[in-house]
Amino acid sequence: MSEWFESWFGEEYVALYPHRDAAEAEHVVDLIENTAHVPHGARTLDLACGAGRHSKVLAERWWTAGLDLSEVLLRLAHREMSEASFVRGDMRVLPFRTGAFQLVVNLFTSFGYFSDDASHLRVVKEVARVTSRGGTFVLDFLNTAHLRDTLVPYDERIIGDRIVEQRRSISDDERFVIKHIGIRGTDKEYVERVRLFEAGDLTFMLKAAGFDVTHGFGNYDATPLSQESPRVILFGTRL
């Protein structure tokens, strides 16, 4: 049985979410540069790179490769950065040599997609394997506490001539946030499901994989992490 993310990030996803914030990508990469102090030109991996929004900014400072499972999003990334190295693959089994990268980033909640927690830990261990000793891993995830307090159960967006309805809920076991995306007047519906990891859970996984967690921020402007923060941004140094 396939996972939801194997089919969702395709043509329909691109049509329903045509624009992402380029300025936001600049802000998070500024935060990475100012915090991690990775030498310019260092080998960098944009893990779950999607259409390359962050890869484009990362590549202005470091040699950057991107990995994603979606062929559709990778084609868009290649269109924007024809000379860049984009690879199709599963983040649980990274097709790179041990210690290949000095910087690995996983941005904009491109984590927590799997049904079992062992798979999530496997991802972090794979990241540790391909990160050189002394290198940096940046994990940018939603803040579960903030999401629980501010969850919007329903909203609508007009995209072209379509009305897109979004329904959000917490699973009965309280382990996942689930979003149902439907197009009014059609039978099309898509589902996103993300594991609700607390900051402590993420820190535990990084440490278990061999990272020393050195910094934690609550937003791209480097504000301290708190219950009210919209994000959990962790920096880990490979031991």
Same domain, 139 and 208: yes
Task: Express each pLDDT in 109-157 by its tens digit.
Answer: 999 999 999 999 999 999 999 999 999 999 999 999 999 999 999 999 8
pLDDT for residue 16: 74
Same domain, 76 and 188: no
- Domain holding 159, by residue range, is 146-192
Burial of 162 (0-12, 13-18, 19+ CB in 10 A): middle
pTM (two decimals):
0.95
Residue 94 to residue 155: CA distance in whole angstroms: 37
Same domain, 131 and 45: yes
Same domain, 82 and 38: yes
pLDDT for residue 220: 97
Same domain, 122 and 228: yes
Cβ(16)–Cβ(181) under 8 Å?
yes
pLDDT for residue 90: 97
Q: Which two tokens stand for residue 166?
A: 């979004």
Average pLDDT over residues 67-95: 93
Same domain, 128 and 158: no
* 1: pLDDT strictly greater than 70: no
* 171: pLDDT strictly greater than 90: yes
* 7: pLDDT strictly greater than 80: no
Pairing of strands 211-217, 231-238: antiparallel
Same domain, 201 and 165: no
Same domain, 211 and 135: yes
12, containing H or E segment: helix 11-16
Chain-centroid distance, C-alpha 100: 20
Same domain, 164 and 229: no
Overall number of domains in the chain: 2
Same domain, 227 and 203: yes
Same domain, 158 and 124: no
Tell me the average pLDDT of the chain.
94
Residue 218 CA: distances (Å) to CA of 12, 31, 144:
31, 12, 12
Same domain, 171 and 116: no
pLDDT for residue 188: 83
Residue position matching structure tokens 């991996």:
45
Handedness of CA 24, 30, 35, 40 (dihedral sign): positive
- How much of the chain, in percent, has pLDDT values that exceed 90? 82
- How much of the chain, in percent, has pLDDT values that exceed 70? 98
Q: Which two tokens stand for residue 47?
A: 């893990």
Residue 131 to residue 152: CA distance in whole angstroms: 37
